[in-house]
Structure 1
């Protein structure tokens, strides 16, 4: 393959990305030094848009003392740390001075292979928090500081106060407790977190996680404001009153959808609400009823959109709230989404950009690879036992995939910045200098079928990973 690609003058870098339904090839052309360094924005529109979006976020949390939130989040994290230590202590591995490997701890817990990464995260996190000793030379762990029953009971009582102050509904306390009490079974895949998160099909706990708490409420309304402003921008430019075409990927319980539809008001819209699960599509139909212009469809961000019936250049805006971190390779996912956008279309992401310990004892169990998946993340997170990207990593990924990133929200210095929930947006950049994927595909046709990718995406830059990458 390298010989074929090297013969194409417009292809100067490429990356082979393995996938469960066939491999993808990312190709890039010569770097345009006059392009951007990843910080470029649409001057004027972008500057005012992020200011207004931030104001909308602030208005959505009026009456909340934002300065208290980091301390409340720390209380949630403290409870999670004690929960991890308590579960590990029950293995009895650390009740003497003997050191143990991560693999030994995973085995002692009877952990399902797909959840082993979570236990490794626990061990590293407890070591970083000085609750466990890590020998940097051997990589062995010893001397676990486990909570007493009284200490753990007090932490659980404190958790409810912290939950309330963060704006989570009461159901979140029940969820945190239920997940903590079932952790050994959850790690062993003897029960499922979905049963805890959606008891009897109810969604109020998930809504609390993605809609009601303060950071999510702020981010959802900021994202909605960006989309509403984009609608007004396009309305001024369009002739004939075509509705704003919005694709929401991984819409879930619709926490962000609600804010966006409210911000759009009476704006004519063709809003495609999508998710990988039919459960959420039915929930959307029940929740939003016959909202004008709202449709539902299945969509898996880890599969080729065109193979799922989506048409290139068919959407003005794509929204992905708390879902794109599930992409096995974010560069491939972003390139595929960019191809669904019209030229200069807007992509709006809502993403957690820091790890919360409470998620390590609950929501992370939903992010493990499926039992039949051969691999997991194949991008910059490969081999790192982590899910979330930092805001800086998201900006670089957008830039490489062919977007002009907007300033990240909330901005530096904002009280909510430390909590890690961010709005990361970008406008599709004109593809001057990008290789033609069709030409690349035709050139590769001379190779055996097993040596050819299933799909080819053109990007502005190929970013290195720990597992793959080739360039010349």
Structure 2
């Protein structure tokens, strides 16, 4: 059943109305899901320029040590296997000019095919790899997997995904069926916890949480609990709200952490209004989840409103679109065929990418009203080759409460265009070519 969405002109009317209100210098308007329907969301700033964001200096290899020296070489081997598997798929099933059609790609996965073609161009692979070359690359991938400490289940996942690219791109099988084979979580935990890279990142995130000495912690998108384990070991007993968009993960966590006092559980989706009937939190933790936000700035602003004054946000985020990710985990990021609002609405719009870069996250945090940003690992750390970072930032106090703006907007707009939420931010990061 089709849903009537507010038009471009409707959203432009909302933006102009908000920008005419006292104290509003600039507004950005977008759509968010609100149950089965769409609702208007808005970010407003006072128009003052944002100072250039700064990041605290860290030792060049605080996270890395002797064992992490293998990371760059291992990742290079895994990337090589992935791009050769992509080349084999594209050249065997189609041509470089019309691969999406030749592969029979499902419409929702066509963006992945475009990423594959860009990868082949960047790696200068105009001809398909030989069978011997592909076999050797697969052996090298598994050797690298073992050096990085991924469990055998994760090795089987990588190999199966790379050999199943035609079926994945046609939606004949789902990546979830490979990642959660048999309904188990061993493979997913291998990706997010049981490997050298994730161990160091989760430890750094746990230390950042513990440094706040929190009484109340909210974890968003906790999933398989990979980062939760490290944090709970570091903080002792706290009031800990474990949330995820899926009841499947909540049920598994209730069983897994049944022995742990202080844990509570709730459904939470970063792409809908995130009002919680809760006291403010000392720390909000989001590990490998905020790239799912349709609009990163809106979600960061909504999270800031869940924090107590001076509260800390801790993120783990991937910032590089690796070939291996484009041949595996990116299938989790394709919109559902019946998605109400497919695609991103922020700086990633129409760019065939999922992840914000390291510098982009720093700017987004500053614009959304955070200060004192720290990022690990430092550029000179071997772990930086993974393109995954721990971001820590503190809630700032420059913004004003949005409630009066909501009241004034309700007076000036038709009822169906009144924003479901308004977030006040320090600055807007807007691609004006897409702006209503």
1:17 is matched with: 30
Measured after TM superposition, the shift of residue 189 of structure 1 is 1.2
Measured after TM superposition, the shift of residue 312 of structure 1 is 6.5
Query: SS at the partner of 2:93?
Result: coil
Are 2:223 and 1:252 aligned? yes
Deviations 1:358-417 (A, max 9, x none): 111111100111212243100000010000111110010000001004221011211211
Picking from 118, 125, 150, the partner of 2:112 is: 118
Does the C-alpha gap of structure 1 residues 394 and 67 become closer, same or farther in structure 2, counting only changes over 3 Å? same
1:450 is matched with: 416
1:237 is matched with: none
Q: TM-score normalized by structure 2?
A: 0.91
User: 5 Å matches for 1:191-202?
Assistant: 191-202=173-184
Whether the 8 Å CA contact 1:247–1:317 is kept in 2: the answer is yes
User: 5 Å matches for 1:238-317?
Assistant: 244-265=215-236, 268-306=237-275, 310-311=276-277, 314-317=280-283
Deviations 1:331-384 (A, max 9, x none): 011011000111111000001111221111111100111212243100000010
Whether the 8 Å CA contact 1:251–1:320 is kept in 2: the answer is yes
Deviations 1:403-460 (A, max 9, x none): 00422101121121122110011100013xx344222112211211233222111111
Query: SS at the partner of 1:382?
Result: coil
- Decide which structure has the larger Cα Rg and report it: 1
Deviations 1:201-227 (A, max 9, x none): 111111111012222111100010011
Does the C-alpha gap of structure 1 residues 453 and 220 become closer, same or farther in structure 2, counting only changes over 3 Å? same
Distance 1:14 1:171 in 2: 48
User: 5 Å matches for 1:291-370?
Assistant: 291-306=260-275, 310-311=276-277, 314-370=280-336
Does the C-alpha gap of structure 1 residues 2 and 148 become closer, same or farther in structure 2, counting only changes over 3 Å? closer
Measured after TM superposition, the shift of residue 465 of structure 1 is 2.3
Whether the 8 Å CA contact 1:38–1:405 is kept in 2: the answer is no
Distance 2:178 2:337 in 1: 20
Distance 1:313 1:398 in 2: 22
Distance 1:467 1:287 in 2: 47
Whether the 8 Å CA contact 1:311–1:340 is kept in 2: the answer is no
Distance 1:2 1:377 in 2: 19
Distance 1:278 1:285 in 2: 10
Query: SS at the partner of 1:354?
Result: coil
User: 5 Å matches for 1:90-109?
Assistant: 90-93=92-95, 100=97, 104-109=98-103
Measured after TM superposition, the shift of residue 126 of structure 1 is 0.7
Are 2:145 and 1:145 aligned? no
Does the C-alpha gap of structure 1 residues 467 and 456 become closer, same or farther in structure 2, counting only changes over 3 Å? farther
- Greater mean alpha carbon deviation, residues 213-222 or residues 76-85: 213-222
1:141 is matched with: none
Distance 1:466 1:359 in 2: 30
Distance 1:399 1:171 in 2: 39
Picking from 398, 404, 424, the partner of 2:365 is: 398
1:38 is matched with: 53
Are 2:90 and 1:88 aligned? yes
Does the C-alpha gap of structure 1 residues 54 and 406 become closer, same or farther in structure 2, counting only changes over 3 Å? farther
- Greater mean alpha carbon deviation, residues 16-25 or residues 166-175: 16-25
Distance 2:256 2:264 in 1: 13
Measured after TM superposition, the shift of residue 67 of structure 1 is 2.2
The answer for unaligned runs of 5 or more in structure 2 is 1-13
Q: Which runs of 4+ in 1 moved over 4 A?
A: none
Deviations 1:55-112 (A, max 9, x none): 5x45xxx661x22211110100000011101111122435xxxxx2xxx211111111
Deviations 1:171-226 (A, max 9, x none): 11100111122221111112111111111111111111101222211110001001
Whether the 8 Å CA contact 2:55–2:375 is kept in 1: the answer is no
Query: SS at the partner of 1:456?
Result: strand
Deviations 1:126-183 (A, max 9, x none): 101111xxxxxxxxxxxx3101112111111121101011121111110011112222
Does the C-alpha gap of structure 1 residues 466 and 328 become closer, same or farther in structure 2, counting only changes over 3 Å? farther
Does the C-alpha gap of structure 1 residues 462 and 320 become closer, same or farther in structure 2, counting only changes over 3 Å? same
Are 2:198 and 1:216 aligned? yes
Whether the 8 Å CA contact 1:91–1:109 is kept in 2: the answer is yes
Are 2:424 and 1:407 aligned? no
Does the C-alpha gap of structure 1 residues 410 and 301 become closer, same or farther in structure 2, counting only changes over 3 Å? same
Does the C-alpha gap of structure 1 residues 291 and 9 become closer, same or farther in structure 2, counting only changes over 3 Å? same
Distance 2:372 2:361 in 1: 9
Distance 2:136 2:315 in 1: 37
Distance 1:339 1:295 in 2: 20
